[in-house]
Structures are given as C-alpha cells and as structure tokens.
Amino acid sequence: MSMYKPPLFVICGPTATGKTALGAALALAVNGEVISADSMQIYRRMDVGTAKPTAEEMRGVLHHMIDAADPEEDWSVARWTDMAAGIAEDIYARGKVPVVVGGTGLYIDSLLSGRSFSAAPEDGELRARLGREYDALGGEAFREKLRSADPLRAEKLAPGDKKRLVRAMEVYLLTGETISEHDRRTREQPPRFASLRFALTWRDREKLYERIRARVDDMAARGLFEEVESLLASGLRPDCTAIQAIGYKEVAAALRGECTREEALEAVKRSSCRYAKRQLTWLRRDKELRWLAREDYPDISSALAEILAAARQQTT
C-alpha cells in the first residue's frame, strides 16, 4: 500500500486579491478542505470586517478555523498552529488534501515549519510583573534591557510592542534560553508538511490598492458600522485583540465620536493598504513561493490551471 502523502497547498497573498475564491476552486479540484489562515476570521460575529467567506463563496467545501472562537478570546500563533496542524493531519487521514488559504504569513510559516511554540513555558505572575516594569521604564528602556539578554529579538521588536517584548523577557527568565535561540533550533527541524505555495497579487500595485479601497466601501455598505456597534454593545472590551483589528478599531473610534464615519473609512483604507504592503514584504522572503501575478482581477480558472500544472510536475 502506498504511503504517499500529497503536498499541502497554500494560497496566500495580500488582502483583497481573490484568495478565497481560488482556495475553494482548488479544494474542489484536488478533493481538499480549506484551512483558513486569517488571524481575524477565527472570531465569531466578525463577518463583514474580516471579509469572511459566505456559504456561497465556500462552494460546499468544508472550511476550518473560521468561527472557531469568541471575540473575547486572545488567540496566539501557538494556539492557532497547534489546532491547524491537527486539522491538517485529520484531513490527510480521511484521504483528502489540506488547502491553507489566508494572508497571515506568520501563521502559515509556523504551520509548515512545525515550530514548537508550546515548548516555552508561561508564568502569568511573572508576565504581569514584567508588564508593570515595561510601563514604569517605558518601551525603549525595556527593549534595551531585553537587548542585554536577547539582542537579536530586541533588534526585531519596536519599543511599543509591549506584548512581544514582555514575552521575550519572560521566556529568557523562565528557561535561560532566548526566543531567538529557540527559533534557531526549530528552524533546523525538517518541515512538518511538504507544501506547494502560491501567492496572488497584481503586477500593478495601484490596482491592488484600488481594489482594497473599493472593498472597504463595500464593507461599509454591507453593515460594517452596525457589526462593530453590535460587538461593543455585547460588552466586548475596546482593548481586546479582536476589536483592535484593521477596520474595527477605526470604526469603533467613529462610534465613540472621535472622528466622522468618512474619516474612519479613509483610515481603514490607509491601514489596509499599508497592511497589504507589509504582507508582500513578508511573502517575498519565501524563495519557493510561486507568484500568480495578474494584470487585472485574478482569473481564477487560469490561476487554478497554473497550480494544477505545477502539482502534476512535482509528482512526475
């Protein structure tokens, strides 16, 4: 009996490039199921602002890691990776193929690499103490303190990134090993999953930005302000991770009267375009990523044909 396991497919790319449609089409073509790699689509009741796929867009394909958590929950990359890896293995065990679709590059990289985040212990009391120390010292001074223990991680983090600075110091104090060293060791491990990775984008960057801006207007028309208002009315804390997402924090500010609705939408458009630029920068580090660059809105049928041809080539 053959033990061949087909590669896991990845459809990634910046926001608003047609990943959802291509992912569903690919899953139908390869007898697959989709695993969403979107850090915000995991939250229930957050549909419009996350561009969560509708039942029609899913085309009957089973989609995992969508509506998996309540907005009140904080989800780490470690938690997402552990759950997504188990789902991928289960998909394989049932004779199907995982198709990972999304724009959260860290999630995708972590899933493929098999990075072991859970190996680093946590101590809530220590973390709280370090958080207070960060507040007392200020971000720049706290980062300098981290630099003496983990210069590589300190260099990568901004002074305002309290959460990651505190976590880096916590790991070092608990284990005596820096997160940088932990990451180096895990990078030496073989990948958890063999994969074929594809990214959608436009050749003309301005066309991407135009589509992003149009999609924000569409979200507003479909009830983005009402969605955020409902979340806040349910008692969701204004500082929780979910409500800090692009599209939610700007609209929440408008609902508090800090800006007009028009100003909020312009802020969402600016933030979304900047986010797309960061996504492209992240993806370009992957030398094995195959780009499906288009002149206009991606032709799903031609993109799918390219992917299937690449898959056939790899298996021959």
Is the separation of the CB atoms in 51 and 20 below 8 Å? yes
Domain assignment present for residue 252? The answer is yes
Cα 160 to Cα 106: distance, rounded to the nearest angstrom: 20
What digits encode the pLDDT tens for the residues 280-315? 999 999 999 999 988 776 688 899 999 999 999 887
What residues have CB less than 8 Å from 73, skipping those under 6 apart?
Answer: 43, 242
Beta bridge partners of 33: 98
Cα 301 to Cα 294: distance, rounded to the nearest angstrom: 12
What residues have CB less than 8 Å from 202, skipping those under 6 apart?
Answer: 17, 208, 211, 293, 294, 295, 296
pTM of the model: 0.82
Same domain, 128 and 165: yes
Same domain, 109 and 129: no
Same domain, 123 and 110: no
Cα 43 to Cα 1: distance, rounded to the nearest angstrom: 41
Boundary-marking domain end, from 153, 187, 221: 187
Same domain, 282 and 180: no
Same domain, 238 and 286: yes
Is the separation of the CB atoms in 199 and 283 below 8 Å? yes
What digits encode the pLDDT tens for the residues 105-150? 989 998 998 765 545 567 788 999 999 999 999 999 999 999 999 9
Q: What percent of the chain has pLDDT over 90?
A: 75
Same domain, 28 and 157: no
What digits encode the pLDDT tens for the residues 11-54? 999 999 999 999 999 999 999 999 999 999 999 999 999 999 99
Q: Look over the chain and give the mean of its residue pLDDT values, rounded to a whole number.
A: 91
Domain assignment present for residue 49? The answer is yes
Q: What is the CATH number of the domain that holds 272?
A: 3.40.50.300
Same domain, 209 and 305: yes
Same domain, 256 and 239: yes
Cα 231 to Cα 48: distance, rounded to the nearest angstrom: 12
Same domain, 157 and 197: no
What digits encode the pLDDT tens for the residues 222-267? 999 999 999 999 999 888 889 999 999 999 999 999 999 999 999 9
Q: Show the domain range for 130.
A: 118-187
Domain assignment present for residue 210? The answer is yes
Angle, CA 52 vertex, CA 48 and CA 55 arms, to 5°: 110
Same domain, 132 and 15: no
Q: What is the CATH number of the domain that holds 162?
A: 1.10.20.140
What digits encode the pLDDT tens for the residues 137-146? 999 999 999 9
Cα 102 to Cα 81: distance, rounded to the nearest angstrom: 14
Same domain, 38 and 88: yes
Boundary-marking domain end, from 164, 187, 210: 187
Same domain, 109 and 161: no
Number of separate domains in the chain: 2
Cα 292 to Cα 198: distance, rounded to the nearest angstrom: 7
